[in-house]
Amino acid sequence: MPTNIKRTIEIINEISPSFCAAKWYNATIWLGNGRTASCHLPPAHSILVSEIMKNPSALHNTAFKKDRRLEMLTGKRSDECAYCWTVEDNAEPNIYSDRVYKTRIYQETEILQLSKLDPQADIDPKTLEISFDNLCNLSCTYCNSEFSTTWASDIKVNGPYADLKTTGGGAFQNAGDLALPYGIKNENNPYIEAFFKWFHGSLKTNLQELRITGGEPTRSPWFWKLLDECQDTNFDFAVNSNLIMDEVKLNQLISASKKFKKFDLYTSGEGYGAHAEFIRWGLDYDLWRNNLIRFANEGQYSMIHVMMTISALSIWSITEFMTDILELRKKFNGHQFHMSLNLVRFPSFQNLNVLPEDLKQAQADKIQTWLSTAVGLSSSETNQIERIIAYLRNVNRSQEDTDSQENKQHDLKSFTRQYADRKNVNLSTVFPTEFIEWFNTI
């Protein structure tokens, strides 16, 4: 059972004011290019091939992570965890950072034993997310060629985005060739070879949950190969899918959900209708919704998680989207559809703090009003929504942000105009008047 929030905070403070269990027990690994991070918030770092040749578990137990573990045990705030420090330093009482949520999923004894462990020791993660490649059929506004072949194709056909001044602008000026150094088929990829060695060694025995992300995992042959090798395993299984697929592929995903004792589906969305289709280009909102309903009806699952990515471009219809999800929840008589709200930090020009103060306060008021009448939210969802409101009201700059407000606003306009032109979309048809009026003044 997860540890309750109050006790989690007590345990964290007993160990260290900068402690987070995710640095040991959680990992995301991009096997296509050999990079890893302890959660979705810190920047990824490279995994040395020389390390995994000797020790496949170095896919997770990198020298870099071990140094960060030592910092956490000694009370130092790791620079890579700046997002959590921003939330904790600026949030209102009873609003918690992700390190609380990512620690509480483990049992008290599991958390406490980390304080006694040598920070240089190798440890198998309990919750692991892996990506085999970047094959994807969408090109979302906050994404780039490293994580989406559709983004890469756009850059190759239409050229790099021009006139971007922020540090994150470079992500939209290359075709992501470094994302797949072993080619689109991942032939002779040492990271994938090391993963399967580790998987068939200690990993599959010690895992509590294995989650596959992408790209779009269902487009990757490695995803289906892994499913074939998951016979007689006891861990929970999860997959991140955008659910934009035909009936044949959806049938395969529904069948896959029945292979495991516990299966979770993670899908993404935060906007409604045409607005959603713009910020997640390639999305068909009705198809996404219908496939979600069909999976909910026919799949065998524990929970369906709807991951909301909150940015300066997506904020405008999140209340309409959450209303739609709550309506779906009613139809299924429970909490099958769990929402999580995650702030975009990269690129900085899409972070909420690029917006002017009046628009931020207006959006905070709108979300607060919606929250005051919303029925059926879990305590975790309520807390995360309140965290977005607090961020809009209180945070003018993230700790890790080095770009000037002038450059961020410049890049928001330059990027969004080019993105819309490539899609032949009139911005006034997908954004509200108050955003367009301000946007035109930049």
Q: Write out the DSSP string of 170-198.
A: GGGSS--GGG-TTTTTTTT-HHHHHHHHH
- Interior/surface letters 164-177, b for 16+ CB within 10 angstroms, e for the rest: bebbbbebbebbbe
- Interior/surface letters 255-275, b for 16+ CB within 10 angstroms, e for the rest: ebbeebebbbbbbbbbbbeeb
pLDDT of residue 399: 66
How does pLDDT run across 3-58, given as a tens digit for each residue? 788 899 999 999 999 999 999 999 999 999 999 999 888 889 999 999 999 999 99
Q: Whats the size of the chain, residue-wise?
A: 442
**In the Cβ-directed half-sphere of 315, how many Cα atoms lie within 13 Å?**
27
pLDDT of residue 176: 81
How does pLDDT run across 289-334, given as a tens digit for each residue? 999 999 999 999 999 999 999 999 999 999 999 999 999 999 887 6
Q: Which of 367, 32, 366, 10 is nearest to 195 (CA)?
A: 32
pLDDT of residue 231: 81
Residue 87: pLDDT band with limits 50, 70, 90 = confident
Q: Show the CA angle centred on residue 10, arms to residues 89 and 393, nearest 5°.
A: 25
Q: Does residue 136 sit in helix, strand or coil?
A: coil
Distance CA 79, CA 280 (A): 30
How does pLDDT run across 244-298, given as a tens digit for each residue? 999 999 999 999 999 998 999 999 999 999 999 999 999 999 999 999 999 999 9
Residues 63, 67, 72, 75, Cα dihedral to 10°:
180
Residue 355: pLDDT band with limits 50, 70, 90 = very high
Distance CA 70, CA 89 (A): 22
pLDDT at 338 over 90: yes
Structure tokens at 255: 């069948």
Structure tokens at 243: 């659910």
Q: How far is CA 5 from CA 86, 99, 309, in A?
A: 19, 11, 23
What is the β-pairing status of strands 303-310 and 236-240? unpaired
Structure tokens at 89: 């330093």
